[in-house]
Structure 1
Amino acid sequence: MRNFVFILLLTAACLAFLITGHLYWERKIEATVQAARAKVETSAKQETETSQTEVILARAKQLPAAAQAAIKRAVEEHRPVHLVIAGSESTPENGGWPERLKQALDDAYGKGVFHITVHEYDGLTTADADRQRIAADWAKDKPDLVLLEPFLLNDNGVVTIDDTLAHIKSIIDELKSAAPNAVVILQPPNPIYNATYYPRQVEQLEAFAKENGYPYLNHWHAWPDDQSEELNRYVDPQTDLPTEEGAALWADALAKRFIAQ
């Protein structure tokens, strides 16, 4: 009888040992599988993020180097690129070229890659803008990029070009003091028909940008010649503001720089 009990206990102990061992290895294998699965998922996620980053940077390759670097920094920080668009009534918050450009960026990069804020200042000259310290408005948006159309058309015949350029520099300096990482990209307003001095002022704006190291996007090559009446299809001769066709043309010209094919 004792032998039988001993054998029974021994058998039970062996079974318990086998069951415990089986459960141990089963848990260990499951943990190994889970760890391997997590590693694969992490690797796949990293590959996807790397791929998405590469696609975004490839799209932006026609922008100035400083703008590309700002976009890269935002993407690597896993946040939207904050783009501030600022300018005169030629750069309307609603119904103009900024809305068309936003749509083009959403279509090309994906919705949410760019977070765009538009600041329109109706009737301001650069002197007004400098005095009113409007760059503080942009700094609140924590911009990566500021696309600035600097009131040059409103200055025409009112503020000398030397003063205009000094005010532009003051406005940019104010922004940079509050948002040092912001990259300011200058662009001219729209052309107007049969102007004499205004085209020369635009040329001086471009030279000023180059001299001071500001990125500059010149979209004038996309418009009809400013001495041609065809321009009146794109810019209303009564208001000197872009028509619907002009807004589309302006947005398309900028999109070709923002979006490499």
Structure 2
Amino acid sequence: MKVFLTSFLALICFAVLIFGNVSWNEKIEDASADNITKPRTADLSSSGQVEKQTSDLVKFISNWPEESAEVFKERLKDDKPFKIVLAGSSEIENDTFSLEKALQENIMETYGNAIELSSITFDVTSTEFLEEGHEQEIADLNADMIIFESLTLKDNGEVIIEDSHENISTIMQATEAANPNISFIVQPPPPLFEANFYPRQVEELKKYAEQSGIVYLDYWNSFPEEGTAERASYFTKSRDSLNAEGYALWTDYLLNYLISQ
């Protein structure tokens, strides 16, 4: 009988120990699970964050065309970059000066990845531009905004003013056919020192843009008047092109347009 009781008590003690050990392990596992730091993922698509990002950046686009502003907001909402293309002749991209590089640092500092800036150049007149099908080439870039240097300097002595303007209209129509929401903006080539016919061409370009409802970036107004000593300080000693100060005037004008303060 004593043997039976002893065996029975031993069995009960063993069961209690097993149950206690299992229970203790479960508590340890639960406690460990509670203490694990789970990675938190930011909900970048939340409406609150999108609205804040939009409000932070739209204050810089007050100079833009209305359609560009709306597309920019949509790009922010969709987390996609707003694409700006600088198109023109070697006046905007050469061994001495790169308009894209001159603008890029401030664009990135202000907009970050919200804007994608690029450039494309063509060493042709506006008529040759169309004959070679380059209008489709820039249309295929799927830009949201094109800032087009008018090729007026290339057309000087080669293409009459009226045809030059008609060519710009054709180029613009091709880009709008590819993207109805695109903003096509015109800027003149850089000024020359004491030129004769060229300033008249650019003045006619400005009138054409205004009459056609095209945004025209008149950065020539940033330069001192013709014939002044101050104006000469923005050109190289040979007077055949802008110097660093002249290019800075051009760049600053575009930055003030693209980044409203």
One fold, TM greater than 0.5? yes
Offset at residue 180 of structure 1 (A): 2.6
Farther off after superposition, 178-187 or 86-95: 86-95
Native 8 Å contact 1:90 1:241 kept in 2 = no
TM-superposed deviation, 1:83: 0.6
Letter in 2 for 1:133: G
Q: 1:90 to 1:230 in 2, by over 3 A?
A: farther
Alignment of 1:99-248 (within 5 A): 99-110=101-112, 112-122=113-123, 124-236=124-236, 240-248=240-248
Q: 1:52 Cα deviation (Å)?
A: 1.1
Larger Rg: 2
- Structure 2: how far apart are the matches of 1:69 and 1:93? 33
Unpaired stretches in structure 1, ≥5 consecutive residues: 1-37
Deviation at 1:88, TM superposition (A): 1.0
SS class of match (1:59): coil
Partner of 1:62: 63
Q: For the residues of structure 2 that align with 1:159 and 1:55, how far apart are their CA atoms?
A: 45
User: 2:189 & 2:125 partners in 1: Cα distance?
Assistant: 12
1:228 and 1:152 map into 2 onto residues whose CA distance is 24
Q: Which residue of 2 aligns with 1:89?
A: 90
Asked if 2 retains the 8 angstrom alpha-carbon contact of 1:83 and 1:144, the reply is: yes
Query: 3-state SS of the aligned residue for 2:208?
Result: helix
Q: How many residues align?
A: 254
DSSP-derived class of the 1:204 partner: helix
Range with greater deviation from structure 2 (193-202 or 223-232): 223-232
The CA deviation string for residues 52-105 of structure 1, in whole angstroms up to 9 with x for no partner, is 111211111122323323322322221111111001111106762521112221
Q: Which residue of 2 aligns with 1:5?
A: none
Tell me the distance in 1 between the aligned counterparts of 2:151 and 2:201. 12
Cα distance in 2 for partners of 1:62, 1:255 equals 11
Q: Give the gaps of 5 or more residues in structure 2.
A: 1-39
RMSD: 3.6
In structure 1, the residue corresponding to 2:185 is in which secondary structure? strand
Deviation track 1:104-128 (CA, whole Å, cap 9, x = no partner) reads: 2112222x22111211113x11111
Q: Does 1:49 align with 2:50?
A: yes
Q: Is residue 88–residue 120 contact of structure 1 (8 Å, CA) maintained in 2?
A: yes
Return the offset for 1:45: 6.2
Normalising by structure 1, we get a TM-score of 0.77
Query: CA offset at residue 234 of structure 1?
Result: 2.7
